[in-house]
Amino acid sequence: MKIELKHVCKAFKKIEVIKDINLTLESGKIYGLYGRNGSGKSVLLKMISGFYIPTSGEILYDGVNLNTKLEFPKDLRALIEGPSFFPDLSGYENLKMLAKIQHKIGEEEIIEALEIVNLKDEMKKKYGKYSLGMKQKLGIAQAIMEHPKILILDEPFNGVEQKTVDKLIDYLKELKKQDCLIIISTHIKEDLKRLADIIYIIDDGKLHEEK
């Protein structure tokens, strides 16, 4: 899988948030996106995920511009700007409901994802009673449970205890070996240094590679 961004810009009410970004992303690598809050990280990730259409430029997935077809990239899963689930359902029930959309996985894969994020013991607890860290971990679980070929995680370790962060870093490195294309954004550079093959810095809507 190859994702290409060519002269991508995004503006909201004539205010340009993303400015002429050119970028190529390939399977089997972990890309880090570092920047302060408000730098444009989430907007860029939403465009790559297909939630926003660029104001100008194009995003190609293996040479195809899905925006012209109003399609979302296949086999892409994302956690952007925090998770949102049904508060009266348990963590497991929320994931099971999502799994029914495409019928790609069953109970075994759901529980496996909950184990990876150290949430199996709380999977029967209602989401409304989850702590911030537990909510974040459930969001990560929904992103990984269907074994996507493209995985996008926006500030995934917010509120997550170090034990689970370390476990997730090891898991993501293994996922990379399975030819997954992974993009992780954070304002904590140390996490990216442990994970990313290439780190990009975004500032005021512009992107450059950290050497």
C-alpha 91 chain-centroid distance: 19
The predicted pLDDT at position 81 comes to 84
State residue 108 phi and psi, 5-degree precision.
Answer: -60, -45
Least Cα distance to 21 among 140, 29, 13, 31 occurs for 31
Distance CA 138, CA 34 (A): 23
Residues 6 or more apart whose Cβ sits within 8 Å of residue 88:
126, 127, 128
Closest C-alpha among 150, 31, 151 to residue 139: 151
pLDDT of residue 71: 77
Tokens 């100008």 belong to 56
Name the 3-class secondary structure at 78: strand
Question: Containing H/E element for 30?
Answer: strand 30-34
pLDDT at 210: 86
Helices (H) and strands (E) in the chain, counts: 6, 9
As a whole number of angstroms, the distance between CA 30 and CA 181 comes to 6
Residue 88 CB burial class (10 angstroms; 0-12, 13-18, ≥19): exposed
Residue 31's pLDDT is: 97
pLDDT tens-place values along the chain, 211 residues long: 899 999 999 999 989 999 999 999 999 999 999 988 888 999 999 999 999 999 999 999 999 998 777 778 889 999 998 788 999 999 999 999 999 999 999 999 999 999 999 999 999 999 999 999 999 999 999 999 999 999 999 999 999 999 999 999 999 999 999 999 999 998 888 888 899 999 999 998 999 998 7
Q: 2 has which bridge partners?
A: 26
Sequence-distant (6+) residues with CB within 8 A of 81 are: 42, 154
